[in-house]
């Protein structure tokens, strides 16, 4: 084989490899570039271990991601949830922090609600359930404070 052909083949393989790496990085990292979404805010007393980018689920189906987490007005965590455009929450919706499995990742579970009124884009979920801290419950049980 000529040296020029060999260099061309190697170059094509390198470009193909870089394209594959970029594809994997975008899809495994679940990156989103722009795009519209439905944003709502929820306030929790304790989000223990929840991270930005965590999934938001309805009936076990992913419908969005946690866009940002901040400490709001003292001792409450403020979460901004970015939901897929087709999801519409009612004003009696409930957001809960849950764990996948016993020691799994944290995620936000939503129940959509049954009210006539819906939460507008940029609105607030009123009813929330904070994360359960197993260590604290076990400690209370062991020390007889339950």
SS3 at position 18: helix
Average pLDDT, the chain: 80
Residue 29 has a pLDDT of: 62
Question: Does the predicted TM-score (pTM) go above 0.75?
Answer: no
Most confident of 5-19, 53-67, 94-108: 5-19
Domain of residue 23, residue span: 1-31
Tens digit of pLDDT for each residue in 8-54?
Answer: 888 899 999 999 888 887 766 655 555 567 888 888 888 878 888 88
Same domain for 130 and 86: yes
Domain assignment present for 70? yes
Domain assignment present for 4? yes
Angle at the Cα of 107 from the Cα atoms of 104 and 41, rounded to 5 degrees: 160
Q: How confident is the model at residue 4 (pLDDT cuts 50, 70, 90)?
A: confident
Same domain for 125 and 55: yes
* Angstrom distance (rounded) from CA 9 to CA 31: 31
DSSP assignment of 104-140:
--EEEEEE----SSBPPTTEEE-EEEPPP-HHHHHHH
Domain assignment present for 144? no
Same domain for 56 and 77: yes
Domain assignment present for 146? no
Same domain for 46 and 19: no
Domain assignment present for 111? yes
Is the Cα torsion angle 121, 80, 63, 57 positive or negative in sign?
Answer: negative
For residues 59-71, average pLDDT: 85
Same domain for 62 and 120: yes
Asked if residue 78 lies in contact with residue 41, where contact means CB atoms within 8 angstroms, the answer is yes
Residue 88: both structure tokens together: 């519409």
Torsion angle, alpha carbons of 4, 10, 15, 21, to 10? -170
Residue 15 has a pLDDT of: 92
Provide CB contacts within 8 A for 140, sequence distance 6+. 146
Residue 133 has a pLDDT of: 67
**Percent of the chain at pLDDT exceeding 70:** 86
Tens digit of pLDDT for each residue in 118-128?
Answer: 888 888 888 77
Same domain for 108 and 47: yes
Q: How many domains, the chain?
A: 2
């Amino acid at each position: 084989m000529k040296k020029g052909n060999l260099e061309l083949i190697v170059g094509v393989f390198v470009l193909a490899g870089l394209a594959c790496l970029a594809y994997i990085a975008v899809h495994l990292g679940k990156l989103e570039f722009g795009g519209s979404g439905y944003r709502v805010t929820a306030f929790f007393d304790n989000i223990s271990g929840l991270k930005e980018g965590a999934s938001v689920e309805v009936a076990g189906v992913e419908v969005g991601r946690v866009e940002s987490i901040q400490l709001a007005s003292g001792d409450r965590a403020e979460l901004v949830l970015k939901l897929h455009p087709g999801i519409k929450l009612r004003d009696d919706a409930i957001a809960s922090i849950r764990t996948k499995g016993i020691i799994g990742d944290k995620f936000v579970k939503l129940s959509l609600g049954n009210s006539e009124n819906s939460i507008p884009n940029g609105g607030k979920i009123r009813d929330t359930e904070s994360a359960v801290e197993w260590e604290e419950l076990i400690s209370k049980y062991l020390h007889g404070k339950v």
